[in-house]
Structures are given as structure tokens and as C-alpha cells.
Amino acid sequence: MNAPIPPRTLYDKLWDTHIVSARPDGTSLLYIDRVILHEVTSAQAFSGLQKEQRSVWRAASSFAVADHQVPTTDRALGMAGFTDATARLQVQTLDDNCDRYGIAQFKLSDLRQGIVHVVGPEQGITLPGMTVVCGDSHTSTHGALAAFAQGIGSTELEHVLATQCLLQQKCRNLKVEVQGQLPLGVGAKDLALHIIGRLGISGGTGCAIEYTGEAVRALDMAGRFTLCNMTIEAGARTGLIAYDDVTEAYVRGRPLAPKGALWELASAHWRTLHSDAGAHFDQTLHVDARDIAPLVTWGTKPDQVIAIDGRVPHPDTAADAVQRDSWKQALVYMNLKPGQAIAGLAIDQVFIGSCTNSRIEDLRVAAAIARRGHRAKGVKRVLVVPGSGLVKAQAEAEGLHEIFLAAGFEWREAGCSMCNAMNPDQLLPGERCASTSNRNFEGRQGYRGLTHLLSPAMAAAAAISGHLVDVRTLIE
């Protein structure tokens, strides 16, 4: 008679069901269900395959879409719309490699084109229970579907394409339990920044983070994607949220989701994708959602974050010498002074988009604030960039684009846009940006650009106010 299986975490279950072999040195070979590709990191992987004359093991498991370097204007021009020759070459190379290896792809002319981490869940390319890899660190986004999703490097990507397997060590389990309800004006982005502020940028290193608790269960899927997306900014490998009624309602009817009897079989299994009672976590972080205010980063790391009604910290209050030096460097780069109020800081540009905050729910929140005013005189431009062509079409059907345009915002085509400075949407040196993206390190949005991370509501509020402002003053 087989011994009973001890209680397992969601991560344990996903790991156990994908092990091909375990090695004495502690590493395991995992089977990978889905490979997602984009134009920046895939070329090196395909080049390695060609050099060694290897084929793609299971082309049907792979999917590709260009997003990082595509322009968000002149999309109708196709490749002729690129002003950067390198970007055009990388997108063309992705097209050529997908054609060569028979990999499904949404090209620029396809309405379904968009950011990989928006398109994947949107199409049912990512499904609960899967192992998912992509040559992009924010692949953790897909963990909101109770999938084990992680970003990998180009060499690992080549290995997965050739073998459908990935060698790695198992993570430790870290539970983030969020009780209570998020206050008015506070959303998933604020929650994510709060958690990163608590853990630090390396607090999750070597961990898989599972988000649980009342506040997490209350999030819609867009909020869950945002939370899991930011997991990597705490140093963790992946973020996870258990499958529930919210997940099921989202997945049902997606183009690549199971149908009919297969749906019934799949959903019955997916209902087991949660941590068992009594499952062991190596660490637990308790968060009270009621304590969270709208947040904004002041420095050059996501954990350098304060409430909008707070003040920039003094390096003398840092936890240690390493943090003190980091704060000093950030203050110089961001042109801020210790003790300075973050509210009222003038903004040059605003970016609403990225794989963190470009879904229809994010755009609705931003539009609700944008309708209250007009782009402030001192704000040079406000870019609103949907996460996919389908998100763009839905926003237009709901009239959201008209609200943005009436407010003096720019309504763009789908893509990563100003998140990563790999396309024409960039900051100029010294420009300060209120951004819904996920990273704020030096030069992330353009050479010498200054980035403040915040929520879509806070970004829209900054756009019509001309400075960082507490969005609660506009909605209460």
C-alpha cells in the first residue's frame, strides 16, 4: 500500500508533476509545457540550434510575438514603420526563425499582437498547471494562472527548444499572506510595491512566492497578473496564486483553452492547484492590506518606495552600509534630497502601459481619473499603450480612447513601449516620468531618465496634476 502524500504547496505540486529526473547534486530535469518567444532574446537561442544543427523538439509547444522593440506608431507601415535598423532586423529575424521551425506567431499585422505576458494568458497559450518559460524576467506574470512560469536566459532557452526540458534546483517556498481589504485608491500595483519594499530586492532570492489571503483572493485577474509580474523585483524566481473561481472564469472560453469534455477534465485537475492545509513554507510574510497607501518609488530600485504622503528617507536611517551607499547614489541620480516630500514633484512625462499595467482593467482605472481633467501644462506627453491589439480594440469599443484623447493623452498601438528604452518611446536625459512599468533602474526608460513607479490611477493623476499627487484627493 502506498504511503499517503504529505501536504504540499502549490509550487511543490507543479514541480513534482514535471520532474523528468532528479540528480544526486540536488538539481532536477523539468519538462516544460510552453515556450514563449520574443524578438530580443530568441535570436541567440535559434543561432545556437543552427550552429549545432539541432531541431526544435516540439514546435507546437512554442509561441512567438514581437513586443520589446516594435514602434507604437505607424503600425500600418509594418517593417517600414521602424526607424531603428537593429530593431527591424531583430523582428525580421524572429519572423524568419518562426517560419523556419514552424513556430506559431502573431506578426505585427495581426490584431492579436501585443506584449508576450499579456497575449499569452489572453489567448489561453498559458493555462493553469503548466510550466512556462520565456527569455524575459517578467514571465512570472503567468503564475497568476497557477502556472509555474519563469524567465530564463538565451542559453537555457536554446536548451529548452532542443530538449523540451530545463535543468534547475528547486526553490524554497515563501508565502505572502495579505489579509484585510485594500483601501480606496489602492490597487494591486501598490500592494506589489509594498511587498517589495518589505522584502527588499533580494528578499525572495531562491524562492517561489505564493500570494494568499483575503486581499489576494479579492483581486481580479488583471490585479493578480500585476502582483505576479512584480515578483521578480523581489528577487524571486516565480510568483503563484492558487486556482479558484476567478481563475476559472478568466480561462473559460479562451481560444486555446480546452473545450467540452476536455474542459471538464482539465478544470477538475486545476481545482487541485492550491497549497494543501498544513503544507510547509520556509518563510511567511504577513501583510495587512488596510495599512497600504498609494505608493511611489523615489529611487532607482523597486524597493526604494514610499507612500505618496511620505518623505524621501535619509541615508543615515538605512539598515546597513550597503543600503546607505545605495540610497546616496539613488538620491544623486534622481536629483532628490533627504526629507523631501514626494508629493508635488513635477513630472515631465507619464507612461501608462507595460506587461505590468496594460490590460483593459488598468486602462479603465486610468480613464476614470483622466476624465477628471486634462494633461497639465508642464507635462510634455502622456503615452497610453495597450498590452495587445485585442485590449486596444476593447478599449476603443468602450470609448476609453476618446477619454484619453480628450484629456490630451496619446493613444498608441500595442507593445512594450517606454518600459524598456528599446524602441522610440524614450525619456530624454533628466526627464522625470510617472510610470506604470516595473523597473526604475538608471536609464531603464532612456539615458539619464528618471523613473517613478506607481499605479495606473496614480499615473493618470500625475498627468492631469503635473506632479506626483495622492490620487485619493481626486476620488474621495
What would the mean pLDDT of 192-212 be, rounded to a whole number?
Answer: 98
Quote the CA–CA distance of 162 and 454 in Å, as a whole number: 40
Quote the CA–CA distance of 72 and 425 in Å, as a whole number: 8
Mark whether 231 and 333 lie in a shared domain.
no
Of 131, 36, 81, 24, the residue nearest 412 (C-alpha): 81
Q: Determine the structural domain holding residue 469 and report its residue range.
A: 295-475
Task: State which of 258, 291, 324 marks the end of a domain.
Answer: 291
Q: Is residue 4 part of a domain?
A: no
Quote the CA–CA distance of 363 and 382 in Å, as a whole number: 13
Q: Is residue 3 part of a domain?
A: no
Mark whether 76 and 195 lie in a shared domain.
no
Mark whether 306 and 229 lie in a shared domain.
no
Number of domains observed in the structure of the chain: 3
* Helix boundaries (H) for 342-415: 360-370, 389-397, 400-406
The DSSP code for 314 is P
**Model confidence pLDDT, tens digit, residues 423-466:** 999 999 999 999 999 999 999 999 999 999 999 999 999 999 99
**Model confidence pLDDT, tens digit, residues 21-32:** 999 998 999 999
**Model confidence pLDDT, tens digit, residues 385-426:** 999 999 999 999 999 999 999 999 999 999 999 999 899 999
Say which amino acid occupies 152. I
Mark whether 66 and 24 lie in a shared domain.
yes
Tell me the Cα Rg of the chain: 22
Mark whether 176 and 163 lie in a shared domain.
no
- How many other C-beta atoms lie within 10 A of the C-beta of residue 320? 8
Q: Is 378 helix (H, G, I), strand (E, B) or coil?
A: coil
Yes or no: say if 470 and 381 are a contact pair by the CB < 8 Å rule: no
Mark whether 385 and 324 lie in a shared domain.
yes
Q: At residue 177, what are phi and psi to the nearest 5 degrees?
A: -105, 120
What would the mean pLDDT of 64-72 be, rounded to a whole number?
Answer: 96
CATH number at residue 218: 3.40.1060.10
pTM > 0.95: yes or no: yes
Q: Is residue 374 part of a domain?
A: yes
**Model confidence pLDDT, tens digit, residues 328-349:** 999 999 999 999 999 999 999 9
Grid cell at residue 147: 502556472
CATH number at residue 46: 3.30.499.10
Quote the CA–CA distance of 124 and 135 in Å, as a whole number: 19
**Model confidence pLDDT, tens digit, residues 216-244:** 999 999 999 999 999 999 999 999 999 99
Mark whether 98 and 116 lie in a shared domain.
yes
Mark whether 74 and 195 lie in a shared domain.
no
Q: At residue 284, what are phi and psi to the nearest 5 degrees?
A: -135, 130
Q: Is residue 249 part of a domain?
A: no
